[in-house]
Amino acid sequence: SYLKRSGRRGAKTQEANGHKSAVPVANGNGKSNGLASHHENGNSSSNGYHGSMYRSLKDWHDQAMSLGDPRLDGWLLMDSPVPPALLSILYVVLVLAGMRWMKGRNPFDIRPLMVVYNLSMVVFSAWLVYEFCVSGWLTGYSLGCQPVDFSRSPKAIRMAKACWWFFFSKYIEMLDTFFFVLRGRFELVTFLHVFHHAVVPPSAWWGVKFVPGGFSTFATMLNSVVHVVMYLYYGLAAMGPSVQPYLWWKRYLTKFQMVQFVTIVIHGMQLYFIECDYPKAFANAIMTLACIFFVLFANFYIQAYLKRSGGRRSVQKKQSAHQTVLVANGHSNGRNGAAHNGHHEAAHGVSTRSQVSALGLRCQQRKQRRSPEAASRKRPAAAAASDAPDWQRSEWGANSGRFDATTACRRLPAPDTAKWILLALLLATLDLPSLW
């Protein structure tokens, strides 16, 4: 409403000045050229409106930045919210371009690089936890009301630096998505994944700029704890099938993340019941993001574990009943029994190299049916039998040689991936300034 009122006021002023200065000019027939004067006035009004709107937006920006923490002046990316938002937009654009570029190419084998990256993020996240603890949460901070220390004491500056490093780490974590794209794991580039990496950095900027410390750093410290465990899992998973038997706790990692969001909301709700010299707007923004991520992670947990396990149990029951009927009818002996046993093993995923090749051919045919005009650019079917490349090896079990056909066929990019990523791009440009 402020921008519109200012724009209308500027437009009326320009229009009034234009009417005063507009003098009819006689043409060759002795008639005044009032139409040309009217057009000139209209252009002046339009220019005045846009100029006033730009000035109003710039004034708001300058006034908001003047309220920021002066200790952070000159720090990287801390002078304006525009660069963080542009980096999030660039991230989404590069993800879309990378998926299109990788669509007709063989995935890269970057497993050693991923191991180094994930274990480095474990060390970095653990260091962040240590910094948050020694600069506040184990040296005097309270779980209740905790105002921000805006002094230039070494402890306060150390907390501000820890907040900045937490903010900057969110751009480093964008490498997760690019690794997925380079490995051809398009099914992992989900709405939840892109939304998280696109929205969190520009949203965290506001907290670092205005309240680098205090009450809300509880959420950043807890998130760093979760990332220690999360990147430890990713690092172990990147080491290959030999460590797969020790990664049974993946679903508990998702539960841990959801517990994190619930804890953040419970902690933030305190400000509605106690008097505290800490702006509620920032706590509201953090709780809003926590609620959004809780819903998204809960949906992922239901889809990935509850529904999948339920469907697996129903398939096993059907196969068990089918085998019982065949045995009762005497078809489990001789040639028929051998054929049945071979079919039963294949149904349970005990695949041979030829079955993997056939699976790759079926996935390839499904790709071509979905996009016939791009059939010439697709991965050749023979690649499915080329000594189990990375995009297939990741679905093999550690010891049994099992191969999940359903998961392998999900290597196809989902038709709605671009739509979800574009939606994340839109959300990334909002930055939660209205909540602030």
Residues assigned a catalytic role: 196
Question: Do the Cβ atoms of 210 and 282 come closer than 8 Å?
Answer: yes
Alpha-carbon distance of 301 to 308, in angstroms, equals 10
Site of tokens 């964008």: 174
Tokens of residue 20, six digits? 């005063």
For 32, the 3-state DSSP assignment is strand
Site of tokens 């990713």: 234
CA dist 70 to 67, 78, 135, 157, 211, Å? 8, 10, 19, 12, 11
Any idea what the Cα angle at residue 135 is, between residues 130 and 139, rounded to 5°?
100
Phi-psi region of 378 (alpha: psi -120 to 50; beta: other; left: phi over 0): beta
What does residue 35 show for φ and ψ, rounded to 5 degrees? Answer: -65, -40
3-state helix, strand, coil in the chain (%, to 5): 75, 0, 25
Alpha-carbon distance of 111 to 235, in angstroms, equals 10
Tokens of residue 5, six digits? 């009122």
